[in-house]
Amino acid sequence: MRRDLCSGASGSKTTRSWPPTVWFEHEHETPQPFVFTVWATLAGHERIEAIEATLNYADVQIAIDEVVLNADEPIRLMEDMAQRVVDLLAAHSTVASVRVRIEKPQAPLPHPGGLPVIEVVWHRT
């Protein structure tokens, strides 16, 4: 049996505006907001009755904060940012798979419209 968990601050999404974490130099002038959506599939067949036996919403926020707020240097690509979050969440033994989606709603695109979005998916083998 699989148990799917969609985690985040407000049910499924965590929105944060952080210090510049972007590719282009002109984007380093102001903080860039990112929207994280995280899905996790939990392994095992047993009924979970203790928060320590699962991946809770706080675990997800802590992983995102660790990657973005506590990075030693700016993370230039959203794909790298997502992979780092996946790596932290995959360290939980109850997690069978993780999908991290990041949206950048205020990206400086060449013309109006569009929404930069990336997703990284990981499965325990």
Residue 120: CB atoms within 10 A of its CB come to 19
pTM of the model: 0.78
Q: For 109-122, how does the pLDDT look when each residue is reduced to its tens digit (9 = 90+)?
A: 888 888 999 999 99
DSSP letter string, 42-109:
E--SSPP-SGGGS--HHHHHHHHHHHHTS-SS----HHHHHHHHHHHHHTSTTEEEEEEEEE-TT---
| Fold category of 3-123 in CATH | GTP Cyclohydrolase I, domain 2 (3.30.1130)
Per residue in 47-88, pLDDT (tens digit) is 778 887 788 889 999 999 999 888 888 788 899 999 999 999
33: part of which helix (H) or strand (E)? strand 32-42
What the block records as the tokens of 103 is 């949206």
